[in-house]
Structure 1
């Protein structure tokens, strides 16, 4: 339809390189259906950019309702632009700017439309069929660009894929024809037998009984067909209404299997029914799901070879959206289905073998019903087949996962479980980590409670049973915790925390434990790298304003202090943890003053202690001279300038010039402090240059750990009910049982290597994991933050030299004990025995 002038809007289109943008006015319906772009280039007459824009703004495109796959601009027999050719290789395999139209386009109908458009100055449309590689219908619309002379003007060509519309029309026509045929055939048989019974067979009892049996079968077939048609209509009518009731899919599949055992025996086929398995709960209409699996199993029975079996398998997996799904596979061992039939099997009345299907009593609607029911349930049907080896039809349905804790309680799974927190692999060029966050974990476990308000809210969701809520009301953490002390240097696959508690408790705390340990351990390691890069320099946390939330900023201040930072600019970190505070000026403070020197003096009188003046708001070197001039006046008032801060520019060059100005002015004791986009790499470059910078303020690179903002950390089950457990997923394997880490030191006092072993398997060196909580109560008093900081300093001092120097690719040896490897093999063997049929 032509565009309505009341609904147009100008949109920017895609461009090549530096060529001019072309703006095209599209109707609101067109905008809602498509994303389309055109690129303009200069023609041989060097049309000016302005002329192009005006000409194209005047253009009204004639488009039809669906996505336009691409637009192309043609002029003077040459392609000017063709921005998006996806899916159109068969139409124009060589469609490129500058290409001849007749060579680049292989569709005579479209070439005729372009010529007619040039000649008449009127839009032309044509339809054409492409048979290679697949049969597809297209419409092409050629529209002249207004403002250009006829026969010499520009032509805008738009393609519209008509294939889906044509297929729908064909399906509708086929449906009417097939439905009429399917109903007419049994009806004709009934009418014929009625005439026979009224005529020659009127007095023949044997013939009458035989004919009545046939008539009954034909009437049943017609009833089934009408029933299927009505079912399809009802399902399509309610397609947008998702079922809400929860049902056990396994119970439905077993019910269908049991009900069809008699039919299977009559056909000489065995139906292998899935045994009891974990409950697979889905939201669904029970009767509709029974219909799905009846159709699938009956279909398999029709085509299964005599003496073979039909297998039903229930499993759970992960859908394309990453969410859990239930899968029910129905496999026959029949002749299989040719690949060309697979895409059309769920169409109404589509049959691979029409004669065989009708002989089996099929209506041709069974798989169409299955597809529509599954669609209504948010599921899907997949079909796999190999000729001569049978076919597998799999129904995929989204799972309703009950809360894990409630599931444990409902099944009585409350025995002791052991979970360990560890990092699978270190971030790139992070040769080590520092354990931090344990104090917050223990505090969380001690205070674990559910308030009445929280319990009421959980109850109102309708997802939790009364017994479960009663359990939460009385919940207290009663388990044991073993951990590496905070400040300990650790490496990949070394557990830094172990929780031993009844399974529901140990599982419940997982997410919070990961939150608390991951963030601080990650920040502490990042801060430690900066400390190692700047030996003897003062480092201060400036990152609160760009942290991911205030709490993250406060915890980053704690973690960086553990790693060796001198303090923080976050005042609340002092209140919470006693971390030294380092304040400094803001650029805005200087900007509100008319005179920079006056700003320095006012700030000095307001904050005389540890005074650091910010000197890069305007002219850094001029500000440094103002500091020199102001210093005697402040000294007379008893105020000493501790330092100046640089927050921008070439820090190495500026610091050298500022140092010279300060020294010449007699301020040799005034330090230079740098901030702004600093991390360990920048620090290392500054140190190597011997720039006279005495300290650094670190912002977002610290509080977000910008080069490694997350750790590949996990909290995994290692033992349950006294039996070691092990995850065997490829690339995510775990070591079973309760473990210890032993650290050996070399003759130089540096770390020489770690051994990961079972808890009771002593190894040379110092054990790193110790009991810190028993029965939900802490063991001993908590270490002070300075004690934790001292532990981290000792650990950094003992690092091998390549790690201390932050050498890329530097690593540290962590071995696995023979006893632990043997246990893993035993657990694997036990699991193999459990899963082998």
Structure 2
């Protein structure tokens, strides 16, 4: 399934410094830089996209956005309009920023990168590569900003929705956030990610059309206010759309509104229809839902659902449930689609290796090289959490009959021979914390091939399959990882030889300071 919202080239959806770096690589490769290096633009590099901290103070993250990435890559290319715009950019001296030769190079540029990624709907954790890009360094550089843009926000919203699903349980969870979303694109992206994360439907009709998401909705306060009385408004709505009657009862007086809804419900029954629900959008939702339930049940409308909205999030939903609220349908909007309490995931995209000799071409088997061919790269920091990890990284998830045990990051070129009999995983922030797994321990390597030499090799599951995957993944986590307050830290570590490589590089780089 492709994302039709991105069925056009968006190659200028990037930061200017990505283009200036690409220009620098190109110019140096032409011998016009210092020093000239003809191989530089095509020098093979590896970049890893990851985040450093789970959002919302939680214990897990749900990755989403890969479908958008695939659409972006498949349509990548600089149009003549793009190039004419780049031609207008100038430097501090007022002269053109880019030479015409570079713009002509971009005009014919075709991506030849390999991309591996963790499938959408997978639970993931800090420092694990969600996407790995391998190919000519110039091309890899141009992909940094758009990949971060497409993965960061959607993963954030999918995670927020998954947290809401955890507390909603079997209740219906509806996404109502389009009117409060961050623009049209933000609204579309949020609707898609919210459905993947666990929402049952959306109010966003365009998202329903493009992404095959169920849509739900009834009427607003303005409908009631446009009639002389609330009863007239309810009766008219029910008469015109008897198979979709959920009535908003808090325009004037909520309890009176419930009684008016019941009157409309009796008229619906006489015509063979049912009152599907009532909606509460303000006030003390716990108290009002309890009182509304009493009135509905007493009138014989035991099947009528009580829907609640009004700036809900997982914390408020959990609180309402603890108060005994009789709500079974939750309409969530602003705090979901804007990721209200944490508006950014904070993903990063770091260079991890550069090939020091010309690489081979061909299939995966013939492209495997020994570690001696790679110059491993890492970023140092005074903060350990910001020190990157080198290598061509893969994530191995160990499990047993109860669920997930731990995730181990390893280097595909260096580590495999060290993992034949058993393997040791080391906590990157505390080398004394180690865990050993024997060769018989069940596992799954999470990153899968998505593009090879610029050609898509991965079939995206449909959105419903991806949504189901989220729930399967959450079921594999220990309950402590899923709690909202002081969640248990899921074990993620480095395979021993990768840990040793990282330590050696840190010592070397520190020694060169």
TM bucket (normalised to shorter chain) is 0.7 to 0.9
Alpha-carbon distance in 1 for matches of 2:304, 2:452 = 52
* 1:795 maps to 2:473: yes
Alpha-carbon distance in 1 for matches of 2:495, 2:281 = 51
Partner of 1:9: none
Q: So what's the TM-score if we normalise by structure 2?
A: 0.82
Given that 2:18 and 2:141 are in contact with CA atoms closer than 8 Å, whether structure 1 keeps it comes out as: no
1:24-44 alpha-carbon deviations (Å, 9 max, x no partner): xxxxxxxxxxxxxxxxxxxxx
1:33-67 alpha-carbon deviations (Å, 9 max, x no partner): xxxxxxxxxxxxxxxxxxxxxxxxxxxxxxxxxxx
Deviation at 1:688, TM superposition (A): 1.4
Q: Output aligned runs, 1:397-412, within 5 Å.
A: 403-412=20-29
Q: Quick one: higher RCO (CA 8 Å, sep 6+), 1 or 2?
A: 2
Deviation at 1:623, TM superposition (A): 1.0
Q: 1:402 to 1:656 in 2, by over 3 A?
A: closer
Alpha-carbon distance in 1 for matches of 2:240, 2:130 = 46
Alpha-carbon distance in 2 for matches of 1:470, 1:596 = 66
Deviation at 1:830, TM superposition (A): 5.1
Alpha-carbon distance in 1 for matches of 2:474, 2:244 = 29
* 1:727 maps to 2:379: yes
1:708-756 alpha-carbon deviations (Å, 9 max, x no partner): 11112101101112321111122210110111111122442x2222111
Deviates more, 1:667-676 or 1:603-612: 603-612
Partner of 1:692: 326
CA RMSD in angstroms, aligned pairs only: 1.7
Deviation at 1:812, TM superposition (A): 1.1
1:510-539 alpha-carbon deviations (Å, 9 max, x no partner): 111001000000001111111001111111
- SS of aligned partner of 2:347: strand
- SS of aligned partner of 1:425: coil
Specify which of 752, 757, 760 is matched with residue 405 of structure 2: 752
* 1:530 maps to 2:182: no
Alpha-carbon distance in 2 for matches of 1:785, 1:693 = 27
Partner of 1:771: 449
- The aligned length equals 435
1:532-572 alpha-carbon deviations (Å, 9 max, x no partner): 01111111001111111111111111111111110100000
Partner of 1:825: 503
Deviation at 1:402, TM superposition (A): 8.4
Partner of 2:129: 495
Given that 2:60 and 2:124 are in contact with CA atoms closer than 8 Å, whether structure 1 keeps it comes out as: yes
Partner of 2:483: 805
Alpha-carbon distance in 2 for matches of 1:578, 1:584 = 19
Given that 1:533 and 1:805 are in contact with CA atoms closer than 8 Å, whether structure 2 keeps it comes out as: no
Alpha-carbon distance in 2 for matches of 1:603, 1:803 = 46
Partner of 1:445: 73
* 1:416 maps to 2:40: no
Structure 2, gaps ≥5 residues long: 1-16, 30-39, 90-95, 356-373, 424-440
Q: 1:450 to 1:647 in 2, by over 3 A?
A: same
1:189-242 alpha-carbon deviations (Å, 9 max, x no partner): xxxxxxxxxxxxxxxxxxxxxxxxxxxxxxxxxxxxxxxxxxxxxxxxxxxxxx
Given that 1:604 and 1:639 are in contact with CA atoms closer than 8 Å, whether structure 2 keeps it comes out as: no
Alpha-carbon distance in 1 for matches of 2:510, 2:123 = 37
Deviation at 1:410, TM superposition (A): 0.8
Deviation at 1:829, TM superposition (A): 5.1
Deviation at 1:607, TM superposition (A): 3.1
Partner of 2:359: none
Q: 1:630 to 1:428 in 2, by over 3 A?
A: closer
Partner of 2:369: none
Alpha-carbon distance in 2 for matches of 1:476, 1:602 = 59
Alpha-carbon distance in 2 for matches of 1:577, 1:635 = 35
Specify which of 561, 586, 607 is matched with residue 195 of structure 2: 561
Given that 1:422 and 1:713 are in contact with CA atoms closer than 8 Å, whether structure 2 keeps it comes out as: yes
* 1:814 maps to 2:492: yes
Q: 1:428 to 1:530 in 2, by over 3 A?
A: closer
Partner of 1:475: 109
Alpha-carbon distance in 2 for matches of 1:601, 1:513 = 50
Alpha-carbon distance in 2 for matches of 1:475, 1:491 = 34
Partner of 2:310: 676
Alpha-carbon distance in 2 for matches of 1:408, 1:636 = 75
Partner of 2:35: none
Alpha-carbon distance in 1 for matches of 2:243, 2:63 = 34
Q: 1:428 to 1:669 in 2, by over 3 A?
A: closer
1:626-666 alpha-carbon deviations (Å, 9 max, x no partner): 11112122223333211110000000000000001101111
Structure 1, gaps ≥5 residues long: 1-399
Q: So what's the TM-score if we normalise by structure 1?
A: 0.51
Alpha-carbon distance in 1 for matches of 2:69, 2:189 = 13
Alpha-carbon distance in 1 for matches of 2:488, 2:323 = 24
Alpha-carbon distance in 2 for matches of 1:617, 1:805 = 36
Partner of 1:614: 248
Alpha-carbon distance in 1 for matches of 2:82, 2:469 = 39
* 1:658 maps to 2:292: yes
Q: 1:615 to 1:474 in 2, by over 3 A?
A: same
Deviates more, 1:596-605 or 1:651-660: 596-605
Which of the two has higher C-alpha Rg?
A: 1
Deviation at 1:417, TM superposition (A): 1.2
